[in-house]
A and B are shown apart, each in its own frame.
Chain A
């Protein structure tokens, strides 16, 4: 019986340019903070060399991402694109069979969950 030790985040490889135009949402991210941040990114979008702002959310944060998308689409009349995704994450597991639990190497296992990518154009 494998025991879950840690849930790892997604694999991110983010370039210097993307840092200022990509926003990862957590389920804990306050809605208004995300809103302000996206607005800030949108204001500087030309300076960072990208054409749109990317908002990424997975699992529990999908709902928040979509409601943000609705806000920008309906309230602020921006062009918004929504892409659904499958995101790979990792679980760190340990084997419970061993006698000494803290003395075991852990095993990593892949899991796929659904996510959403939102592109907001200025």
Chain B
């Protein structure tokens, strides 16, 4: 039997591809001269002179040169050999698979080659004429067809279901309601419905969707997509982002999680706040809810919501952007999440809140200050773009043009030339009326004075800040009527193209210019606010909801502007040692749920999917601690999250035991836990605390948060068990920088260095060297005790800026204050390797 019989023969295409790769991979060598070969069999001898012994240098060099050239050529050609289509040779960013059948999607210079390739593969080339013919065959556009089909289905459904028939009005029965009358009725309805066109003041269907003192409804979008937005609404840029990013459904929105292209390093390099970042990262941050508050008791409400700092004079009167925490209105010790605030004038403010806490805050404000406060819900009427990177302003200056002469715009023009935003004053804010960015055929940098800005220009930004002008623009932005007015005569793309064409026809010289001239009477203009957020160190562009998309499209046409998602925001926050909501906010209800429910479920499900032999057995990890509790084997705490409940009970229990004057005995050798008369566990040794934790974790479901940032209220009247489980633990946010090797991961455990081991770890920090002068990494380190656990890592990975592992997390405040050194030990979940790190507090 032929041995090759089992193998499938290659088809034409496979054969072609294999040959192509094989050809590409072969490296040619210079032909050996036959005459010389006769003299000697050794091929290398031809480099020697005929007499032998002398190297013929020119020959030798030229043949090596040839070989090197061939090697480089082969490397280059084998890189592209696998590609069968021309667009595969494009840079990764420009490649598109979608609609690659459509030649028009391929850059012009490559089209002819693409057509050839398609012909070769018998691929159909979509033809415009053919497509038009197809369109005519049913005479309906895609959306019309969809609607017609839907109504047909509905009619069928009504016909079939008796219950639906019963629900119909009496006069509509089968005999007296014929299909034609129905259609007539439908037609009439559509005609009546068209009268609602007056609702809009433009042909784009843009309108201001604001509700006062109640939550705004979801924006009216295309009927076709309504079903998909039942529970999670789309942002204006959804369709754009869905093609380029991984999306996720959270907090009532479809959000871009991360671009499909790998971008960890690129984000670090561009998103950094340095002059060399040379690019911009942008994100549609419209999901951040905006509300506008006004009323007589505003100051009181703001103080209750955002703390006393937010009503200080510098925020109230001088347009400084405030970033802080939102507090529970009834209990100022409870933090809800981050909050941003801008005083528009003495009796109006603009608040930005994360969607996870927006509704809670909105409703509690409405309840507490129902009559004294007017609350505009601008979630769907104000949108925003967040920009990072040193070229952010420069990118914006390429697409935004002021509609009239304006001081703030001039300042914006000056500031946009600065590559290093660290130089700008704390209060950097621009507000002006902007013309439709689609008036520009292509984004173009601003003309005018291209002199390099000086220090005096920067000082003038602050000294000559145009207060009245900015006040007026921001109050327009916060006014529903003015926002609606900004949509008046908003052009469709078609109308703009027509205008551009007629310009070109009437005056070819002038019409060729980049910008369609703006006329103040007929063309729309909209207010924009550009602000540098002092703590987040990024730029925020706030504008009316339906103006976002035109700006977004133009913005993404600029070279070196990249989009990003939430993951990149998190990465940049991590790199700059800031807390990212909600993952780094375990002291809030939302952050705690994110950690202990959402993230925990995700990673435990991932672990559970694997067969037992392929997954880490967390119960059997040796040499974790220097001592072992009898009731705790293997990894301490929950394996898939930061176990804050454990930390709370653990630290509180140990503190209680120390207060009792007991010498932290781990367990009684001769007896197990004792119960007192009431049936509660008596706390005598560390093991009892662990048992208490196990009791609690079995029936979790308590509303009490385990952590707090402020000192908890002391309540000594409670029983010790309740004191331990119900007093929240005060924690400190820290950033731990690794001092040696290692890469921290999320949920890693943080231990303090025991007093007797400080000297050893100091020695490790200095470096313990081998005999050959290299650092010894395979040391046997002393292990910390199980009672030394002081915290968890909320976000940790390799830090590209520092060039070493950095972990952000929280540690017990008591332990932080009583530390003998700045050292902590960090251990990843499921491993028994401790890494030495330096901790420093993160300023909130």
The reply to whether A110 and B459 contact each other, CB–CB distance below 8 Å, is yes
Report Cα–Cα, A24/B318, bound state, in Å: 34
- Answer whether A11 and B423 are a contact pair too, CB < 8 Å, given A90-B458, A104-B314: yes
Contacts of A100 in B (CB 8 A): 312
Q: Is A12 in the interface zone, CB < 8 Å from B?
A: yes
Total interface residues in chain B, CB < 8 Å: 28
Q: Is A1 in the interface zone, CB < 8 Å from B?
A: no
0 or 1 for each of B415-439: is its CB under 8 Å from A? (1 = yes):
0011110110111000000000000
Stretch touching chain A among B203-211, B235-243, B449-457: B449-457
The reply to whether A103 and B312 contact each other, CB–CB distance below 8 Å, is yes
Q: Which of A11, A16, A106 contacts B278 (CB 8 A)?
A: A16
Chain A positions 9-60 with a Cβ under 8 Å from a chain B Cβ: 9-14, 16, 19, 24
Report Cα–Cα, A8/B424, bound state, in Å: 8
Q: Is A88 in the interface zone, CB < 8 Å from B?
A: yes
Count CB-based A-B contacts (< 8 Å): 67
Q: Is A108 in the interface zone, CB < 8 Å from B?
A: yes
Q: Is B275 in the interface zone, CB < 8 Å from A?
A: yes
0 or 1 for each of B306-326: is its CB under 8 Å from A? (1 = yes):
000100111000100000000
Report Cα–Cα, A59/B422, bound state, in Å: 19
Chain B positions 693-746 with a Cβ under 8 Å from a chain A Cβ: none
Report Cα–Cα, A90/B375, bound state, in Å: 41
Report Cα–Cα, A102/B308, bound state, in Å: 12
Q: Is B126 in the interface zone, CB < 8 Å from A?
A: no
Shortest distance in angstroms between B409's beta carbon and chain A's nearest beta carbon? 18
- Answer whether A13 and B455 are a contact pair too, CB < 8 Å, given A19-B276, A103-B314: no
How many residues of A sit at the interface, in one of the four size bands?
Answer: 20 to 34
Q: Is B113 in the interface zone, CB < 8 Å from A?
A: no
The reply to whether B314 and A108 contact each other, CB–CB distance below 8 Å, is no
Report Cα–Cα, A16/B559, bound state, in Å: 11
Report Cα–Cα, A24/B275, bound state, in Å: 9
The reply to whether B462 and A12 contact each other, CB–CB distance below 8 Å, is no
The reply to whether A13 and B417 contact each other, CB–CB distance below 8 Å, is yes
Contacts of B318 in A (CB 8 A): 105
Report Cα–Cα, A63/B4, bound state, in Å: 74
Q: Which of B313, B459, B463 contacts A103 (CB 8 A)?
A: B313
Report Cα–Cα, A14/B278, bound state, in Å: 9
The reply to whether B420 and A12 contact each other, CB–CB distance below 8 Å, is yes
Q: Is B560 in the interface zone, CB < 8 Å from A?
A: yes
Q: Which of A9, A13, A89 contacts B452 (CB 8 A)?
A: A13
The reply to whether A108 and B425 contact each other, CB–CB distance below 8 Å, is yes
Report Cα–Cα, A8/B420, bound state, in Å: 11
Report Cα–Cα, A16/B445, bound state, in Å: 13
Contacts of A102 in B (CB 8 A): 309, 312
The reply to whether A8 and B314 contact each other, CB–CB distance below 8 Å, is no
Contacts of B419 in A (CB 8 A): 12-14
Q: Which of B278, B309, B418, B459 contacts A108 (CB 8 A)?
A: B459
Report Cα–Cα, A33/B459, bound state, in Å: 34
Contacts of B462 in A (CB 8 A): 108
The reply to whether B453 and A13 contact each other, CB–CB distance below 8 Å, is yes
Report Cα–Cα, A10/B452, bound state, in Å: 12
* Chain A minimum-CB-distance residue to B276: A19
Contacts of A13 in B (CB 8 A): 417-419, 452-453
0 or 1 for each of B433-476: is its CB under 8 Å from A? (1 = yes):
00000000000000000001111111100110000000000000
* Chain B minimum-CB-distance residue to A87: B455
Contacts of A105 in B (CB 8 A): 314, 318, 427
Q: Which of A14, A16, A24, A108 contacts B458 (CB 8 A)?
A: A108
* Chain B minimum-CB-distance residue to A19: B278
**Among A16, A24, A92, residue most surrounded by chain B Cβ atoms (within 10 Å):** A16
Contacts of B423 in A (CB 8 A): 8-12, 90
0 or 1 for each of A97-122: is its CB under 8 Å from B? (1 = yes):
00010111110111000000000000
Contacts of A109 in B (CB 8 A): 459
* Chain B minimum-CB-distance residue to A89: B455
The reply to whether B426 and A110 contact each other, CB–CB distance below 8 Å, is no
Contacts of B309 in A (CB 8 A): 102
Contacts of B276 in A (CB 8 A): 14, 19
* Chain A minimum-CB-distance residue to B452: A13
Report Cα–Cα, A8/B417, bound state, in Å: 17
The reply to whether B456 and A110 contact each other, CB–CB distance below 8 Å, is yes
* Chain A minimum-CB-distance residue to B450: A13
The reply to whether A88 and B454 contact each other, CB–CB distance below 8 Å, is yes
**Among B318, B418, B425, B457, residue most surrounded by chain A Cβ atoms (within 10 Å):** B425
Contacts of B455 in A (CB 8 A): 11, 88-90, 110
**Among B309, B314, B420, B455, residue most surrounded by chain A Cβ atoms (within 10 Å):** B455
The reply to whether B454 and A12 contact each other, CB–CB distance below 8 Å, is no
Report Cα–Cα, A12/B273, bound state, in Å: 12
* Chain B minimum-CB-distance residue to A14: B419
Shortest distance in angstroms between A90's beta carbon and chain B's nearest beta carbon? 6
Report Cα–Cα, A100/B312, bound state, in Å: 10
The reply to whether A90 and B459 contact each other, CB–CB distance below 8 Å, is yes
Report Cα–Cα, A9/B273, bound state, in Å: 12
Report Cα–Cα, A16/B417, bound state, in Å: 12
Shortest distance in angstroms between B94's beta carbon and chain A's nearest beta carbon? 18
Report Cα–Cα, A106/B422, bound state, in Å: 16
Report Cα–Cα, A92/B581, bound state, in Å: 31
Report Cα–Cα, A104/B276, bound state, in Å: 33
Contacts of B422 in A (CB 8 A): 8-9
* Chain B minimum-CB-distance residue to A24: B275
* Chain B minimum-CB-distance residue to A106: B426
Shortest distance in angstroms between A98's beta carbon and chain B's nearest beta carbon? 10
Report Cα–Cα, A110/B458, bound state, in Å: 10
The reply to whether A12 and B312 contact each other, CB–CB distance below 8 Å, is no
Report Cα–Cα, A88/B419, bound state, in Å: 16
Contacts of A103 in B (CB 8 A): 312-314
Report Cα–Cα, A8/B458, bound state, in Å: 11
* Chain B minimum-CB-distance residue to A103: B312
Contacts of A104 in B (CB 8 A): 314
- Answer whether A11 and B458 are a contact pair too, CB < 8 Å, given A92-B425, A105-B314: yes
Report Cα–Cα, A24/B423, bound state, in Å: 15
Report Cα–Cα, A9/B420, bound state, in Å: 9
Shortest distance in angstroms between A48's beta carbon and chain B's nearest beta carbon? 12
Please provide the 5 A-B residue pairs with the shortest distance between their CB atoms, ordered closest to farther.
Answer: A88-B455, A14-B419, A12-B420, A103-B312, A12-B275
Beyond A12-B418, A24-B275, A92-B426, list 12 extra A-B contacts (CB 8 Å): A9-B422, A11-B418, A11-B423, A11-B452, A12-B420, A13-B418, A14-B275, A16-B278, A88-B455, A89-B455, A103-B313, A108-B459
5 example contacts (A-B, Cβ-Cβ < 8 A) are as follows A10-B420, A11-B423, A88-B454, A90-B455, A104-B314
Binding site for A on B (CB under 8 A): 275-276, 278, 309, 312-314, 318, 417-420, 422-423, 425-427, 452-459, 462-463, 560
